[in-house]
Amino acid sequence: MAIGLIYNYSFSDIKSLLASWGEPNYRARQLWEGLYQHFWVFPKQFTDLPLPLRNRLAEEFPTDALTPVNILRSSDKQTLKTLLRLNDGQAIEAVLMCYAKRRTICISTQVGCAMGCVFCATGQMGFKRHLSSGEIVAQVMYFARLLYADGEVVTNVVVMGMGEPFHNYENTLSAIDRLNDLEGYNFGARRFTISTVGLVPAIRRFTEEKRQINLAISLHAADDALRSSMLPINKPYPIDDILAACRDYISVTGRRITFEWALVNGVNDTPEQARLLAGKIKGLLCHVNAIPLNPTIGYAGQPTTRLRANNFKEILNNYGIPCTIRLRRGMDIQAGCGQLASK
Ligand code: SAH
Ligand code: SF4
């Protein structure tokens, strides 16, 4: 546990900590509610705690996990991207998307990413480090606080920002557990979606844990040669192994899986790829989420066209596979899928 970040502490950690300071039991509950129901973060805000305790907290936990250093709003005002500095000087990005009544936030789990998907800005920057569970929790709290000031609440959390969540499994899942706490933030597991590049052992572990969290798999190609050229991690974890793990996940949990597909013109938006994909996932409880590629500096591929995207969708639909073409959002502020980096 990294010392100095209150969000790294579970409720039972806080109880032990305050007990070790000689505080009565109920102080832990007050602190927990202050953090997760009032979204306080600085010890001076905890006015229901006695001053000496507030001072002690200020000494032990001198800073928030994150400092916003740059905030960009898309021209349609619906997407807000924030560059957040961590205490070691590294930075991550997190995004708030406001569509209709939804307030969805997209959070990061690592600084950079080790998976090296060629079309992804995060992959292009390489791996710097894992985020602690507290740094993951802090991103949600940051937006919860922001929305609270306007009388609004976070409705969904997608773990689709920078990094591969299943490469940082422990911290990601313990962050979600902390946010889940009934007497804390109480954010239901079903309102989280984790997206993974397809780390098979982690998908299997996730399956065994029978969690209620939604699962999305970044597939992007239906044959191993093409997928390996786009997602190098396909070599150790090829498509059929991923799909076998998905099949088990669905039969154990009864939950639907989402397959993600960034449509690249002339590469994976062809009728052949659509038919190959359909053959592989036919009969699975699933849904395909396709999105035209978001351009990044390090990748020459171009987004699909509307016509080609519709054709791809039609082919899947003809096989009985639901597919939606998602709109690209937040392009003008580089807040789209795969465009996050810590420049
Ligand atoms: N590491 C995880 C989650 C973060 S990426 C994963 O890969 O699933 C979130 C989603 O954005 C993934 O589906 C990823 O494949 C997709 N993505 C990455 N770069 C993209 C780009 N340039 N255009 C569109 N989608 C992209
Ligand atoms: Fe990492 Fe996901 Fe980007 Fe691939 S798409 S490099 S796994 S963040």
Which DSSP string do the residues of 127-158 spell out, in sequence order?
EEEEPPHHHHHHHHHHHHHHHHTTT----EEE
Give residue for tokens 């053959």. 279
Q: Is 262 in a helix, a strand, or coil?
A: strand
Of the two residues 296 and 331, the one the predictor is more confident about is 296
Mean pLDDT calculated for residue range 218-227: 98
Given a cut of 70, whether residue 79 has pLDDT beyond it is yes
Say if ligand 2 is within 6 A of residue 117 CB.
Answer: yes
Closest C-alpha residue for ligand 2 atom 6:
123
Q: Hey, what are 213's tokens?
A: 């969290």
Q: Which helix (H) or strand (E) holds 252?
A: helix 239-253
Q: What is the distance in A from the centroid of ligand 1 to the CA of 245?
A: 20
Predicted pLDDT of residue 2: 45
Given a cut of 80, whether residue 14 has pLDDT beyond it is yes
User: Residue 337 catalytic?
Assistant: yes
Say if ligand 2 is within 6 A of residue 80 CB.
Answer: no
Per 3-state DSSP, what percentage of the chain is helix, strand, and coil (rounded to 5)?
A: 40, 20, 40
* The overall pTM is greater than 0.85: yes
**Which ligand is nearest to the Cα of residue 165, counting in written order?**
1
Identity of the amino acid at 241: D
The full DSSP string for 150-198 is: TT----EEEE-SSS-GGGGHHHHHHHHHHHH-TTTT---GGGEEEEES-
Per-residue confidence band for 108, with pLDDT thresholds at 50, 70 and 90? very high
Q: Return the number of other C-beta atoms located less than 10 Å from residue 59's C-beta.
A: 10
d(CA 290, CA 301): 16
Predicted pLDDT of residue 289: 97
Give residue for tokens 């606080």. 145
Q: Return the number of other C-beta atoms located less than 10 Å from residue 98's C-beta.
A: 16
pLDDT in tens, 121-165: 999 999 999 999 999 999 999 999 999 999 999 999 999 999 999
Closest C-alpha residue for ligand 1 atom 9:
160
Q: What is the distance in A from the centroid of ligand 2 to the CA of 59?
A: 37
Say if ligand 2 is within 6 A of residue 120 CB.
Answer: yes
pLDDT in tens, 89-105: 999 999 999 999 999 99
Rounded mean pLDDT of the chain? 95
Which CA distances in Å does 221 have to 35, 85, 189, 195, 306? 43, 34, 29, 16, 19
d(CA 112, CA 116): 10
Per-residue confidence band for 28, with pLDDT thresholds at 50, 70 and 90? very high
Predicted pLDDT of residue 1: 40
Predicted pLDDT of residue 342: 74
User: Residue 117 catalytic?
Assistant: no
**Which ligand is nearest to the Cα of residue 218, counting in written order?**
1
d(CA 99, CA 10): 32
Q: What is the largest CA-CA distance in the chain?
A: 68
Closest C-alpha residue for ligand 2 atom 8:
163
Mean pLDDT calculated for residue range 271-275: 98
Predicted pLDDT of residue 334: 83
d(CA 281, CA 294): 25
Q: What is the distance in A from the centroid of ligand 1 to the CA of 101?
A: 24
Mean pLDDT calculated for residue range 279-285: 97
